[in-house]
Amino acid sequence: MAARPLPVPAVNLLLQPSPLLDFDHPAIEQLVQGRHWLYLPPAERIRAAYDFVRNEIVFGYNASDDVPASQVLADGHGQCNTKATLFMALLRRLGLPCRLHGFTIDKALQAGALPAPIQSLAPREILHSWVEVQHQGRWIALEGLILDDHYLASLQRRFARQGGPFCGYGAATPNLQTVAVQWRGQDTFIQREGIRQDFGLFNTPDAFYAQQGVNLRGPRRWLFERLLRPRINAHVARIRRGEW
């Protein structure tokens, strides 16, 4: 995706906390200070936050999309939307303006990551988001942090003979074997090929969910939170370990 030019409006709006971007939470402050990230140059701050969310917050499912960054950190796992929330909070704490780009994706890309009976509960199109960070006068889209290295490597081994487009297990990419998700100062993607609707840009995830809601509501949300989520995360953990 081509880099987008930096808009004129005041960038300080893209550095503010929000109920979901609670980067003033003690746990987030302790993380930032303990890793000494504030002493790094901007590109390395982005790398540090990106690598942390990509690999130390492993791929998994939180109670809902609209949980605060501090809860994602406490959970130690996340999916596209919740990882985006934590990543945004870290970037803003590090003084790096960022924004959210909201979409829907086809639920087909979750096949395999979600056991089939559970996947049937999901809507046909699932809310999705990635983070765009301002760096060197342009916006860089960073979606590639969704799947941690161990999970992704397990997929690549399992589907080593499958070339070309791949859709499933939390990925939708032109080629699973050559996907580039490391921070190199460029856009990164892992689910982009599954996008169906583009809702545009948001200053905060709070604004995105206020407009679009969340993926599961009512009884389905209760069922997911209380009964299904532990099973899903155990299933994802088995995939990560290569227990197919």
Q: Locate the domains of the chain by residue range.
A: 19-240
Higher-scoring residue by pLDDT: 6, 22: 22
19-240: CATH, from 3.10.620, 1.10.600, 2.20.25, 1.10.3470? 3.10.620
Please give the Cα distance from 25 to 15 (Å, whole number): 15
Spatial CA neighbour of 194 closest among 101, 114, 128, 141: 128
The pLDDT, as a whole number, for residue 8 is: 41
C-alpha pair distances (Å), 35 with each of 30, 31, 38, 147, 153: 8, 6, 8, 22, 26
Span 20-42, average pLDDT = 98
pTM of the model: 0.92
Dihedral sign from CA coordinates of 58, 103, 12, 96 = positive
**10 torsion bin: left (phi>0), alpha (psi -120 to 50), beta (else):** beta
Span 26-41, average pLDDT = 97
Please give the Cα distance from 158 to 47 (Å, whole number): 28
Residue 9 scores a pLDDT above 50: no
What pLDDT, in 10s, does the model give residues 149-193? 999 999 999 999 998 999 999 999 999 999 999 999 999 999 999
Spatial CA neighbour of 187 closest among 147, 131, 128: 131
Residue 73 scores a pLDDT above 50: yes
Altogether, the residues listed in the chain come to a count of 244
Span 84-95, average pLDDT = 98
Span 59-87, average pLDDT = 97
